[in-house]
């Protein structure tokens, strides 16, 4: 019995994930988006399910798909929809890992008709979206909360300041500097940083392997 439980250490646990980009509407046919593929988040979903967890995967628009009864996929489009979905499930989960590339800004007004090219230039006024991760950090109780940080300069310092300001248990620093890592590709180079001061740098690996490293690391951290 103990042996079986060890193979599914997350059995009975719930994991909330965000993945992919968000799309912020400009008009009925246009949006502001980014190049996030969603691969990292979907790999974390599979790795969590393989350890026995019940997974809630909130994803922006991607080409990824899942075929696993332990993974409940919730498709959203905008940062606001992702925020609402994340808050709907957060109270009930044990671990939350937010890997989505959420738009930081959205058009202040969404045109109800397709914009016409009337003028020689066009300015869009943007407003801030809500920070989903920070909002969960502000209300977290028992949850182990994990963020991602994509940095191109002062990587470690910026990641550590996000870890603190968003009240996280851990942050995964994603290095774009190294070839092959980051958006779009199937590999990633990451450093795990915890709020207890641990720092663990990994070699360039497949996103599937990074997801497994991450879940094993979280298991150790939450073992208590
Ligand atoms: N995040 C979020 N909601 C937002 C923006 C970011 O949940 N509106 C989460 C991301 O999913 C990621 C973490 O916050 O886990 C860090 O995202 P990142 O873009 O690196 O940092 P920001 O806090 O947005 O700061 P900046 O883009 O200015 O570096
Ligand atoms: Ca951002």
What are the tens digits of pLDDT across the range 169-203?
999 999 865 555 666 678 899 999 999 999 999 99
Q: Which residues surround ligand 2, an ion (CB under 5 A)?
A: 104
Q: Kindly indicate the confidence band of residue 2, based on its pLDDT and cuts at 50, 70 and 90.
A: low
Instruction: Answer whether 132 contacts ligand 1 (Cβ < 6 A).
Output: yes
Burial class (CB in 10 A: 0-12, 13-18, 19+), 67: exposed
Query: In this predicted model, what pLDDT tens digit does every residue of 116-151 receive, in sequence order?
Result: 998 899 999 999 999 999 999 999 999 999 999 989
User: What confidence score (pLDDT) does residue 186 get?
Assistant: 85
Alpha carbons within 13 angstroms on the beta-carbon side of residue 115 total 16
Instruction: Answer whether 40 contacts ligand 1 (Cβ < 6 A).
Output: no
User: What confidence score (pLDDT) does residue 181 get?
Assistant: 60
Which atom of ligand 1 is the closest one to the Cα of 129? 8
Q: Residue 88 pLDDT > 80, yes or no?
A: yes
Catalytically active residues are 34
Q: And the tokens for 180?
A: 């092959």
- Which of the ligands is closest to the CA of residue 130? 1
- Average pLDDT for residues 20-31, to the nearest whole number? 98
Ligand 1 mutation target, pool 102, 155, 161, most atoms within 8 A of CB: 102
In terms of Cα–Cα distance, which of 210, 30, 187, 76 is closest to 218? 210
Distance CA 215, CA 192 (A): 11
Look at 213 and 3; give whichever has higher pLDDT. 213
In terms of Cα–Cα distance, which of 177, 203, 180 is closest to 190? 203
DSSP secondary-structure letter at 141? S
Which atom of ligand 1 is the closest one to the Cα of 158? 29
Q: Kindly indicate the confidence band of residue 90, based on its pLDDT and cuts at 50, 70 and 90.
A: very high
CATH class of 2-103+126-222: alpha beta
Q: Kindly indicate the confidence band of residue 61, based on its pLDDT and cuts at 50, 70 and 90.
A: very high
Query: What pTM does this model have?
Result: 0.95
Across the chain, the runs of DSSP E, i.e. the strands, are 14-19, 24-27, 30-32, 54-59, 71-75, 95-98, 105-107, 126-128, 144-151, 170-175, 187-188, 190-194, 199-201, 205-206
The question of ipTM being above 0.95 is answered as: yes
- Which of the ligands is closest to the CA of residue 21? 1
- Average pLDDT for residues 157-178, to the nearest whole number? 92
Going by the annotation, the residues of the binding site for CTP are 104, 114, 148, 162, 166
Instruction: Answer whether 127 contacts ligand 1 (Cβ < 6 A).
Output: no
Question: Is residue 170 within 8 Å of residue 148, measured between CB atoms?
Answer: no
DSSP secondary-structure letter at 22? -
Parallel/antiparallel/unpaired status of strands 95-98 and 144-151: parallel
């Amino acid at each position: 019995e103990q042996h079986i439980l060890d193979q599914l250490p997350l059995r009975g646990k719930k994991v909330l994930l965000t993945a992919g980009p968000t799309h912020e509407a400009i008009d009925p046919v246009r949006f502001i988006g980014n190049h996030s593929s969603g691969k990292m988040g979907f790999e974390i979903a599979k790795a969590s399910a393989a350890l026995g967890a019940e997974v809630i995967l909130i994803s922006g628009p991607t080409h990824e798909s899942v075929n696993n009864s332990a993974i409940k996929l919730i498709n959203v489009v905008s940062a606001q929809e992702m925020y609402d979905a994340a808050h709907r499930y957060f109270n009930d989960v044990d671990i939350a890992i937010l890997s989505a590339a959420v738009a930081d800004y959205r058009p202040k007004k969404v045109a109800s008709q397709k914009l016409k090219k009337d003028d020689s230039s066009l300015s869009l006024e943007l407003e801030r979206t809500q920070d989903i991760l920070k909002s969960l950090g502000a209300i977290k109780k028992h949850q182990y909360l994990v963020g991602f940080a994509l940095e191109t300069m002062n990587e470690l310092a910026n990641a550590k300041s996000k870890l603190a300001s968003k009240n996280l248990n851990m942050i995964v620093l994603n290095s774009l500097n190294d070839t092959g890592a980051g958006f779009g590709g199937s590999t990633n180079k990451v450093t795990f940083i915890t709020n207890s001061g641990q720092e663990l740098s990994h070699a360039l690996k497949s996103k599937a392997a990074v997801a497994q490293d991450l879940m094993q690391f979280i298991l150790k951290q939450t073992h208590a």
